[in-house]
Amino acid sequence: MSDALPETPITIVPVPPYDFDLTAAYATYFRGRYGTDSFENGVFRRLLDVDGVLFLSGVTSTGSTSSPRLSLILKGNSLNSFVAEKAVAQIERILGTGQDVNPFYEMATHFPVLTRLTNVLNGLHVPQTGSVFEALILAVLGQQISAQVAFKLRNALIETYGPRLTIDGVTYRAFPSPDLISSTSLEALRVIGLSARKAEYVLDVSRRITSGEIDLEALRNRSDEEIIATLTDIRGVGDWTAQWLLIRAFGRSDGFPASDLALLRMMGILHGKSNPVSPKEAIEFSKRWSPFRSYVTTYLFAAARSGHPELIAPADSPD
């Protein structure tokens, strides 16, 4: 028997409730296509880099939110059961299938503002990035500038440095590894639109990872506090970036990017104000949502981006 499994569908059973459409849409920032990922016509695709070998994954839903089931098809040149297993694990993490949102929903029943979000966005899990490095670079590129510009910079970086694989006439890209970025120059990074400062951050962290000085993946076993301390020692990483990584790379439940302008504005609206709350107020207020602030943050952004801005409104009764 052969251990090759080309194009054999693999079944994944997420922890319910799980809304595949919503979660996959979030993974592509509700844009359909975002760098390495696409979600079009019900198919989520991503080019995976498994130990340097590239595979195209295609995921579709074959179940429902309350009884979820996903079908995964892998395509690549050297597919065998060993790498397939790793690829499945990656997809499960990226699509957050193993997360259990029920404890969060239980807490949400105590807060009208949250109940509204969890009702409409029922089954949204928090998508994860392919690696901690990927989340870090995407976050640095997104610092301060508008989502529009961040989109452009991120795509340009992936286009320029991401390894590619062509399947059925379509070229897909994976996220560039630290060593692929390490060998570039500040000038080359500036050409694709990065500021001198962002270029320094990106190059610096890539080289420190390549040299072995930093091991971001090793942080997965550490506490939230240790992760934040280690990350914020890296040039270019402040509290905002570290908190976003807790949410999107480490899958922690209580990340909260308190200096995020969009988040502060949304929380201002929840308070019935037209101006943003201060980071201090936001942290104070958010304590009642602990330890599920990653979910609150994700659901607020999902509401704003997915065509449900009305969900972000003051509660009828105070929280």
Partner DNA sequence: GGCCAGGTTCGCT
Partner DNA sequence: AGCGAACATGGC
Contact residues toward DNA (CB under 7 A) are 29, 142-149, 152, 190, 193-199, 232, 234-242, 244, 259-262, 301, 305
How many DSSP H helices and E strands does the chain contain? 14, 8
Q: Which residues face 140 on adjacent strands?
A: none
Contacts of 267 (CB under 8 A, 6+ apart): 276, 277, 281, 282, 285, 286, 300
Give the nearest distance from C-beta 195 to DNA in angstroms.
2
Select 55 or 295, whichever has its Cβ closest to DNA. Answer: 295
Cβ distance to DNA smaller for residue 53 or 145? 145
CB of 265 to DNA, least distance (A): 7
C-alpha span between 164 and 271 (Å, rounded): 47
Structure token pair of residue 270:
């929840």
Nearest distance in Å: CB 55, DNA: 27
What is the residue-wise DSSP string for 273-288? -SSPPPHHHHHHHHGG
Residues in a beta bridge with 23: none
In the complex, minimum distance from the CB of residue 138 to DNA, in angstroms, rounded to a whole number: 9
| Nearer CB in complex with DNA: 214/234 | 234
Instruction: Give least dist CB 65 to DNA, A.
Output: 23
Cα separations (Å) of 212 from 206, 219, 286?
Answer: 10, 14, 37
* 186/155 Cα distance (integer angstroms): 18
